[in-house]
Structure 1
């Protein structure tokens, strides 16, 4: 870096530098400010979108509580309109629950698989997988249900997974496999209150 002997030399050097670089500085500043404003606009628009989706979700769930074909169609419309939000996944799960209660198992399975493929939430993934396995078992798709459970690797779900695996194997007619799965479930911390009863029934 050059050292200047007088203030006049310093001022002259600054003028020369500005002539050569001033335009680039201005352009850079404008682009930087534009980028900042653009990012803030994007953030604000995303926040507004999430808030609107949240409000609409609450209203949609109220509609779903009416439990009729029209309400299900409205929930599906909400899911389609908000498919890139977490609320759409939650709505899909709730719609699947209503469909299971109505005996519409194939529709419920479609909803759950959609929810599974549209979320990266590690807390939701095992919940959705377990529900899929239960519906597949009810549809007598036992091998599919067992394969679904095999892919659940979340910590803290070991007991529930093994117990459900036992339920599926029992429904499939594999009593020894079910007993083994129930016994393994006993070793986990998340043991259900009904597990011992299931083991006792099989031991008779």
Structure 2
């Protein structure tokens, strides 16, 4: 706008601009405000849904240890009703623990696989993967355990991954791979004095000496 214009000319210019673009400006403001309100409404709804899901999860957990099928039934119903929630993964972990207490290993595997599939949380997924591999070693599914541990997991779980691999290799009679896995676990843990891992490695070394 020319600085030499009079106030009247400036006012007339503003009126002309408003007549030409006023509707578009108002529309933009309305849409922007509407979007802001809608975003706030969406967030409130999401928060309400999360709280409802959390309450449902707590109600399911309260049934654990009652000694009947109510926990299993309610847990499965909760997972079906909330398949996209990380609470579904946590519920599957709890159901797996309950099944393990009853030594129902087939159910344990099923629930751990469910936990892996349902959750987007890397920690929950890693925990379920490690537990599944341990169960597979316990049930003599050594190749399956090693395959399970080939999944991409956070680096912080490397020590646990290598230790379980070592257990699987040792059960298969592959002492060289077991030794390498245990050493990798010690290296990854950053604790050269880790008593459990060191004991496994030492026991393996003694076995090798005795067989010579």
**What is the TM-score with the length of structure 2 in the denominator?**
0.84
What does 1:81-120 align with in structure 2 at a 5 Å threshold?
81-120=81-120
Offset at 1:27?
A: 1.4
Which sections of structure 2, spanning at least 5 residues, go unmatched? 208-212
Counterpart in the other structure of 2:72? 72
How big is the shift at 1:153? 4.4
SS in 1 for 2:62: helix
Compare 187-196 and 154-163 and name the one that shifted more. Answer: 187-196
CA shift digits 1:29-48 (9 cap, x unpaired): 11111111111000000011
Using the TM superposition, name which of 127-136 and 110-119 deviates more. 110-119
Are the counterparts in 2 of residues 4 and 10 from structure 1 also a CA contact under 8 Å? no
Structure 2 residue aligned with 1:56: 56
Q: Report what 2:210 is aligned to.
A: none
Separation in structure 1 between the aligned mates of residue 39 and residue 25 of structure 2, nearest angstrom: 21
199 and 5 in structure 1: CA distance in 2 versus 1, 3 angstrom threshold: closer
Deviation at 1:137, TM superposition (A): 2.2
- Alpha-carbon distance in 2 for matches of 1:161, 1:24: 60
Please tell me whether the aligned partners of residues 169 and 177 of structure 2 are also in contact (alpha carbons under 8 angstroms): yes
- Shifted more, 82-91 versus 182-191: the winner is 182-191
Unaligned runs of 5+ in 1: none
Please provide the CA RMSD for this pair.
2.2
Alpha-carbon deviation of 1:182? 2.4
- Structure 1 residues 10, 4: CA separation in 2 closer, same or farther (over 3 Å shift)? farther
Residue 152 of structure 1, CA deviation: 4.3
The alignment covers a number of residue pairs equal to 204
Instruction: Name the counterpart of 1:194.
Output: 196
Q: Secondary structure at the match of 2:97?
A: helix
* TM-score normalized by the length of structure 1: 0.87
Distance 1:151 1:197, change over 3 A: same
Q: Which residue of 2 aligns with 1:133?
A: 133
> Residue 172 of structure 1 aligns with which residue?
172
